[in-house]
Structure 1
């Protein structure tokens, strides 16, 4: 992740409640569909293959499966954009991911949607999405490092005003992951 950006964690101050069963239902529907398509996992189905057989699925299952397949494709594109240092594309993929989680997988919440929209409206925000299992919790935003502090303050104020919830906002700088260090 380039040093010119920050990852900002945006805790909505809301929790999932009884949403575990709803998430498990989505997972089970995806596993059943993988079995019906005779593949180990939905990652083994291309978008073209899915579209050819999508009419065989009920609307709800079709939306859930479409999310998983397109999210896998977005993840591959996101990794490539980071390898190339293209944070603009990475940010746009974050937004597309949020829309898919909201509209197809249906695991967002009014608080998460408000947080993401407020974040996206701020100067210097390259992208934002919910994170985790959904139905509450946190969103993340990719933000220009030069405005990260004012971004955090503005998002917190606007979110508090709009929802009445007390958010927590954390600015982080992404670093390289763990690696093996050769012994001398």
Structure 2
């Protein structure tokens, strides 16, 4: 198989393993392991699937330096992309400091959307 296809396959197989590992980690409350999985996911998307962008890489790097749990950049060719990052502390002014660092390094002003953990999508049956 061509090298490029093999790289993509390595990413997909490893990503599936990371998802299973992440689910197990979250079930026992191990957010550090979950963060590592997300960080590895971004690295794999960047290096093996080649779908990252220098701005996304900068945003993930800044989030790491801010001691947020590692994040995962989720680019889609031709579409907007957004990294996800987590912090174990409630929202505070220090959360906004990384935005100014990203703006300084990229010339772009990121937006942060704060969210708590939710149960996820489900089916709502009519009454």
Short-chain TM bin = 0.7 to 0.9
Residue by residue over 1:39-83, the C-alpha shift from the partner in whole angstroms, topping out at 9 and shown as x without a partner, is xxxxxxxxxxxxxxxxxx211111111000000000000011011
Report how many residues are paired: 123
TM-score by length of 1: 0.62
- Runs (4 or more) in structure 1 with deviation over 4 Å come to 178-181
TM-score by length of 2: 0.88
Structure 2 residue aligned with 1:157: 100
Task: Please tell me whether the aligned partners of residues 152 and 171 of structure 1 are also in contact (alpha carbons under 8 angstroms).
Answer: no
Structure 2 residue aligned with 1:60: 4
Structure 2 residue aligned with 1:117: 61
Which structure has greater strand proportion?
1
Find 2:72's aligned residue among 129, 132, 138. 129
Gaps of 5+ in 1: 1-56
Aligned-partner Cα distance in 2 for 1:162–1:179: 40
Gaps of 5+ in 2: none
Confirm or deny that 1:77 pairs with 2:17: no
